[in-house]
Homo-oligomer: A and B are copies of this chain.
């Protein structure tokens, strides 16, 4: 951690979001099991020594983790790691630390499982309630997928498509799942080269979904989305020639 001297001679550190780095560092230690649920974290002074930061910065980092449900702090006791079911695993940061802490394939499978549960239902809601402009947004995302010049552009448009579908469901309690879709598709892209390399299959599947939603047919929307996810699952299972990069 770089330091420098002021004119007054006091040793200070640049004020560049120390607490954010602390929060990330401590968060990863919790996610990777160094401090399991129920265990007690070192006290604030100790963290300060370990990371060469002031107690104030440590406290703010801990408050951030507090807000994410990873910790509870009490006087005289210290900060205790909460049970996993209290964690906000759908939080952007928490999910990122999670990903860093676990096996890539397992992580991806968990994400995909949630998508399988969720997205057919989302498609049904979207079919029932999408507005005209939401339908249009969906169609333009599909068009972007069609004309994507590169695989990475294709993935980007793909993410956009699914996010807009989620938005079209018009239930804001579903919003946190956006992060799952983003991470799942990004992880797919990292994990298999094959994923983006078969637009001839993916594009018709997406088109079916849009058509069903345009027609406001809930059952067809569900089936189309299920078929789409079946395809993704097949890739993950390695049955369509997926090859892990690494």
Contact = CB atoms under 8 A, between A and B. Distances in A.
Interface of A: 19, 23, 56, 59-61, 63-69, 84-92, 110-111, 113-114, 116-118, 121-122, 124-125, 167, 171-176, 178, 180
Contacts of A173: 89-90, 110-111, 113-114, 180
A215 B91 CA distance: 35
A114 B60 contact: no
Contacts of A167: 85
CB-CB nearest 4 A-B residue pairs: A67-B67, A117-B121, A64-B67, A63-B63
Contacts of A91: 67-69, 88
Contacts of A85: 167, 175, 178
Interface centre among A91, A118, A124 (most CB of B within 10 A): A91
A127 to B, nearest CB: 13
A64 B174 CA distance: 22
Contact of A65 (B67, B117, B180): B67
Given A90-B173, A173-B111, A66 B69 contact: no
Contacts of A171: 110, 113-114
Given A64-B67, A68-B67, A84-B175, A113 B89 contact: no
29 contacts: A23-B67, A59-B60, A60-B60, A64-B67, A65-B67, A66-B67, A67-B67, A68-B88, A69-B91, A84-B172, A84-B175, A85-B167, A85-B175, A87-B175, A87-B176, A88-B88, A89-B172, A89-B175, A90-B173, A110-B172, A113-B125, A113-B173, A114-B173, A116-B121, A117-B117, A117-B118, A117-B125, A118-B118, A173-B180
Nearest to A174: B114
